[in-house]
């Protein structure tokens, strides 16, 4: 198992570094082509931030292990809200001032409910996968229109404008894009190989490994980006990164896995994990809703999210190990 642990750690390191370079190259290329920063952030950066989960999904499904991809998508969404946003809010309360971001929150909730409706027959078919991938295209178009219509003074636009590389040549940007993509693919191969063998050695399902080990690992890029953004006072980026990533995790990651390898869903996905994910999404929506003209995620709310995530993770581990 030691070799498998090394594979997982090595895969995670490559995924984190590769995701950073992939986002850097994609964002810089789009900026050099004259795309508006907010549009880049809402579509290209959000999609690229989910690249580790997407590559893991492709590799896992290609190996005939779609449960790992499904567990990774659901677990990453739970970790992004409970672990990432919870930890960041404890360190520094997150103010939600962006009107654009407030429009994205209902979209995340709608996508989460769509996923539940497709899961209810306990089988993830190719039709389900194509429905989710069609939903991905629709969401991309909607986000693009949202980015073009949003006011230039939106704090989220200012945050993205400050962070997207502006002094990178197109050739260098494309090179980083390709290097990042190649690194992501190698990292995903190592991570999936190691994770599958660890699951077999421990006698647990790929869903459990996907929801715990793989999900936490692939959420590390979001944690790093959101933490740095919050410390800089770029609150829109801190939470916008998570909302966008969660939307793409469901539509792209699960959609691709179903399109490549249709499969029956593990009973625990329907009895526990998918509903925990929806519950975290609903709680985040309620916490960030503008009730009194002030919308933020306080330290107390961050502590509640992190505590709930630790309790959920503890329950999953004690029930399966």
Convert the pLDDT of each residue in 214-242 to its tens digit: 998 888 877 877 787 777 777 777 788 88
Mean pLDDT across the chain:
87
- Give per-residue pLDDT as tens, 89-136: 998 888 777 777 778 888 999 999 999 999 999 999 999 999 999 999
Q: Are 27 and 218 in contact (CB under 8 A)?
A: no
pLDDT (mean) for 182-204: 89
Q: Among 54-68, 95-109, 173-187, which is the least confidently predicted range?
A: 95-109
The tokens for 13 are: 């390191």
208: pLDDT confidence band, cut at 50, 70 and 90?
A: very high
CA–CA separation, 198 and 144 (whole Å): 41
Write out the E strands in the chain: 94-95, 123-124, 263-264, 296-297
Predicted local confidence at residue 153, as pLDDT? 66
Q: So what's the pLDDT on residue 241?
A: 81
Helices 274-288, 99-119: inter-axial angle, 10-degree rounding: 160
Task: For residue 40, give the H/E element and its range.
Answer: none
For 1-26, the pLDDT digits (tens) are 789 889 989 998 998 898 888 888 98
pLDDT, mean of residues 29-49: 82
Short-list 224, 229, 220, CA closest to 92? 229
Segments making up each domain of the chain, as ranges = 46-59+66-163+204-320
Name the one residue in this structure whose structure tokens are 């995340």: 108
Which of 115 and 158 is assigned the larger pLDDT? Answer: 115
**Residues 254, 197, 277, 220, CA torsion sign:** negative
The pTM for the full model equals 0.90
The CATH number of domain 46-59+66-163+204-320 is 1.20.1420.30: yes
| Phi, psi of 24, rounded to the nearest 5 degrees | -60, -50
Q: How confident is the model at residue 82 (pLDDT cuts 50, 70, 90)?
A: very high
Provide the pLDDT for residue 41: 80
Output the pLDDT for position 199: 86
């Amino acid at each position: 198992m030691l070799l498998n642990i090394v594979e997982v750690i090595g895969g995670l390191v490559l995924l984190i570094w590769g995701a950073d370079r992939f986002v850097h190259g994609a964002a810089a290329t789009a900026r050099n082509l004259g795309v508006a920063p907010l549009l880049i952030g809402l579509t290209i950066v959000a999609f690229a931030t989910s690249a580790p989960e997407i590559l893991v999904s492709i590799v896992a499904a290609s190996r005939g292990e779609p449960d790992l991809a499904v567990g990774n998508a659901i677990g990453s969404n739970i970790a992004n809200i409970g672990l990432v946003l919870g930890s960041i809010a404890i360190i520094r309360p997150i103010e939600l001032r962006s009107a654009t971001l407030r429009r994205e929150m209902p979209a995340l909730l709608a996508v989460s409910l769509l996923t539940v409706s497709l899961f209810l027959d306990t089988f993830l078919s190719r039709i389900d996968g194509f429905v989710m991938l069609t939903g991905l295209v629709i969401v991309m178009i909607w986000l693009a229109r949202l980015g073009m219509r949003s006011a230039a003074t939106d704090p989220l636009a200012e945050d993205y404008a400050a962070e997207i590389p502006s002094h990178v040549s197109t050739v260098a940007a494309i090179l980083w894009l390709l290097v990042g993509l190649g690194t992501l693919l190698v990292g995903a191969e190592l991570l999936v190989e190691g994770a599958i063998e660890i699951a077999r050695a421990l006698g647990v399902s790929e869903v459990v490994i996907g929801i715990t080990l793989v999900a936490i690992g692939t959420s590390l890029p979001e944690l790093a980006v959101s933490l740095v953004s919050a410390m800089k006072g770029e609150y829109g980026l801190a939470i916008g990164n998570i909302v966008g990533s969660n939307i793409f995790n469901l539509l792209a990651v699960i959609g691709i896995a179903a399109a490549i390898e249709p499969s029956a869903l593990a009973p625990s996905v329907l009895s526990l994990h998918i509903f925990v994910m929806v519950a975290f999404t609903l709680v985040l929506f309620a916490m960030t809703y503008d009730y009194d003209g002030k919308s933020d995620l306080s330290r107390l709310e961050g502590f509640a999210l992190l505590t709930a995530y630790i309790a959920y993770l503890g329950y999953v581990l004690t029930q399966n190990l």
